Amino acid sequence: MTIIVTGGAGFIGGNFIHYMLKKHPDYRIVCLDCLTYAGNMDTLAPVMDNPNFRFCKVDITDRAEVYKVFMEEKPDMVVNFAAESHVDRSIEEPAVFLQTNILGTSVMMDACRRYGIKRYHQVSTDEVYGDLPLDRPDLFFTEETPIHTSSPYSASKASADLLVLAYHRTFGLPVSISRCSNNYGPYHFPEKLIPLMIANALNDKPLPVYGKGENVRDWLYVEDHCKAIDLIIHNGREGEVYNVGGHNEMKNIDIVKLIIKELGKSEDLIQFVADRRGHDLRYAIDPTKIHNELGWEPETKFADGIKKTIKWYLDNREWWEKIISGEYKDYYKRMYNAR
C-alpha cells in the first residue's frame, strides 16, 4: 500500500505520518509538501531515515510535478492535508487560500483520475458549517448541516469540499471527506491558540485573547483525528462525509486560564485585544455517524491531552523557539502590535 500524504510537514499531516508509519509499518508513505511558513522539516526528522518514507518538496498546485510523483509512485491512496490553515492570515490575504485550498485540491484529484486511485481523502474542517449561537447548547453540526462559511479560509475549504463531491458524482472518483473540529497536540504551529498561549506564557509575554474570550471551540487531540482518518480511508464509504469531534467544547478564556495554571503563571498575563473580524461564535460536532458506522471514538480526554501537549512544548523548546525567532516575528508584529 502506497499513500501520498500532502501537507505532511505541517501539524496534523506530520502527526498522521508518524501515526501511520507506526500503525502500518509495511505501508509506503510519500509526503508532498512545498514547505510554506507552516511546513517544518524538523517535524519529519524522526522518519526521514525510514526506508518506507519519501519526502518530495512539491507544491500541490504544480500539475507537472504532482503528475511526476504519481507516475513514479503509483499510489493506492491520497490523503490531502495541504492547505493554508490559519483564519487570521486568510483575513489578511485571501488569494493564496484559494490557490492552494481549491486549485491544489483539483490538481490532486485530476492526478487521481489520470493515474487511478483506490481512495482520495479530503481533510476538511467543521468551519465549513459556519458557527452556532452561544445560547443554543442543544445544537450541533451534523453532516447534513448546510454549508455556511464565515472566513476566506472556511469558504476556500468549503469550495474544495464541493469540488471533491462533484468529482465523485461526475467522474466516479472514489472520495471521502472528514470534517474535524479544532485539533491540539505536538508540532502545532504557534500562531494557533493553544501553542501560542503556551509559548507566550513560557516567555512571560502577554496572552492576547480576542474579544471577551467567550467563543467556543470543540477540541480534539490530534492523534484521535489521525485514527479517524485511518478508519475512514480503509472502511469509510465512498462519496461520504464524516464529522469528527469529541464533544469537548471549551471557551477560549477557560483554555487560556488552564494553560496559565498548568505552567504556574499569573492571569495578569491575559490581555484582551480587538476581536477577529467575522469571528465564529461556537463550533460543536455531532460525531454520531463515524461512531455508529466505523466505531470511532476519541481516546484522549482533554484534561490528559492538554497536559501531554504542554509537556511536549516544554520538552521540545528547540522546535518552537526556532519558529518564533524567525519570520514569525514579523507576522506577530503585524497581527498583534496595533491590536
Give the interface with ligand NAD as residue ranges (CB under 6 A).
6-7, 9-13, 32-36, 38-39, 59-61, 81-85, 100, 104, 123, 125, 157, 180, 182-183, 189
Q: Using the rule CB under 6 A, which residue among 208, 287, 298, 305 binds ligand TYD?
A: 208
Nearer to ligand TYD by C-beta: 208 or 236? Answer: 208
Contact 105, 80 (CB under 8 A): yes
Q: How far is CA 244 from the centre of its chain?
A: 12
User: If binding is defined by CB under 6 A, does position 252 make contact with ligand TYD?
Assistant: yes
Residue nearest to ligand NAD (CB): 10
Report the catalytic residues: 126-127, 153
Nearer to ligand NAD by C-beta: 258 or 269? Answer: 258
Least separation in angstroms between residue 7's CB and ligand NAD is 3
Of 72, 71, 98, 70, nearest to 84 by C-alpha is 98
Distance, in Å, from the CA atom of 57 to the CA atom of 33, rounded to the nearest integer, reads 5
User: If binding is defined by CB under 6 A, does position 120 make contact with ligand TYD?
Assistant: no
* The entry of ligand TYD, ligand NAD, none that residue 36 binds, CB within 5 to 8 Å by partner kind: ligand NAD
Nearer to ligand TYD by C-beta: 40 or 182? Answer: 182
Nearer to ligand TYD by C-beta: 17 or 209? Answer: 209
User: If binding is defined by CB under 6 A, does position 200 make contact with ligand TYD?
Assistant: no
Nearer to ligand TYD by C-beta: 20 or 87? Answer: 87
* The entry of ligand NAD, ligand TYD, none that residue 107 binds, CB within 5 to 8 Å by partner kind: none
Contact 190, 313 (CB under 8 A): no
Write each residue from 121 to 140 as x if it is in contact with ligand TYD (CB under 6 A), else as -, in one continuous string: --------------------
Write each residue from 66 to 105 as x if it is in contact with ligand TYD (CB under 6 A), else as -, in one continuous string: ---------------------x------------------
Least separation in angstroms between residue 146's CB and ligand NAD is 19
Strand 249-251 and strand 216-218: the pairing is antiparallel
Least separation in angstroms between residue 176's CB and ligand TYD is 22
Q: How far is CA 202 from CA 88, 187, 229, 320, 321, in A?
A: 23, 16, 33, 11, 11
Report phi then psi at 57, rounded to 5: -80, 95
Nearer to ligand NAD by C-beta: 130 or 269? Answer: 130
Q: According to DSSP H, which parts of the chain are helical?
A: 11-23, 41-44, 63-73, 87-92, 95-97, 105-115, 152-171, 193-202, 222-235, 252-262, 288-294, 302-315, 317-324, 328-336
Least separation in angstroms between residue 22's CB and ligand NAD is 18
Contact 70, 2 (CB under 8 A): no
Contact 186, 222 (CB under 8 A): yes
Least separation in angstroms between residue 83's CB and ligand NAD is 3
Identify any residues that bridge with 184 across adjacent strands, giving them in sequence order: 221
- Return the SS3 of 285: strand
Distance, in Å, from the CA atom of 259 to the CA atom of 202, rounded to the nearest integer, reads 10
Distance, in Å, from the CA atom of 315 to the CA atom of 222, rounded to the nearest integer, reads 18
* The entry of ligand NAD, ligand TYD, none that residue 209 binds, CB within 5 to 8 Å by partner kind: ligand TYD
Least separation in angstroms between residue 266's CB and ligand NAD is 28
User: If binding is defined by CB under 6 A, does position 185 make contact with ligand TYD?
Assistant: no
Distance, in Å, from the CA atom of 271 to the CA atom of 209, rounded to the nearest integer, reads 6
User: Which residues lie near ligand TYD (CB under 6 A)?
Assistant: 87, 182, 192-193, 196, 208-210, 215, 217, 252, 276
